[in-house]
């Protein structure tokens, strides 16, 4: 049986994998600054207003991992529906990523029409890494198949 705790743990682990990739691989290669999109999202939809760079960074990480936990929830829903592995990852990625871009665009936080090809590759690639890592952790550690 899928538990919320297992789903959240898988989502947090997937987010950690994506974050490590960002910090150790992508940002050193591209030279881009850290993204504060999660903090901007939280400030837009919640009654929070970070007053210092440190508070903004803290809000960014809390929101980043909270949103990542939801990827775990989405994967659990897919798994409960009978999807596992790459099919579940692709389904979850397609649903969650498109909703993420649509919501942030509607809130005025994203302007995907202005993104460069590199921006798209980074955004899609890193969120796919997150989805794949979440699925791998969920399938292999949090909810392994009884016969696998």
Residue-wise pLDDT tens digits, 110-140: 999 999 999 999 999 999 999 999 999 999 8
| pLDDT tens string 71-94 | 999 999 999 999 999 999 999 999
d(CA 119, CA 127): 12
Strands (E), the chain: none
Instruction: Kindly report the pTM of this predicted structure.
Output: 0.90
Bin 108: left if φ > 0, else alpha if -120 < ψ < 50, else beta: left
């Amino acid at each position: 049986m899928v538990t919320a705790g297992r789903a959240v743990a898988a989502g947090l682990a997937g987010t950690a994998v994506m974050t490590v990739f960002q910090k150790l691989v992508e940002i050193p290669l591209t030279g881009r600054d850290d993204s504060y999109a999660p903090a901007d999202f939280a400030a837009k939809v919640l009654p929070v207003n970070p007053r210092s760079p440190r508070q903004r960074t803290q809000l960014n990480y809390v929101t980043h991992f909270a949103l990542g936990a939801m990827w775990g929830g989405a994967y659990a829903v897919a798994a409960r529906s009978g999807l596992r592995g790459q099919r579940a990852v692709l389904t979850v990625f397609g649903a969650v990523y498109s909703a993420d871009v649509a919501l942030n665009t509607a809130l005025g936080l994203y302007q995907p029409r202005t993104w460069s090809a590199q921006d798209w590759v980074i955004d899609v690639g890193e969120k796919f890494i997150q989805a794949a890592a979440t699925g791998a952790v969920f399938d292999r550690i949090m909810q392994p198949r009884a016969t696998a």
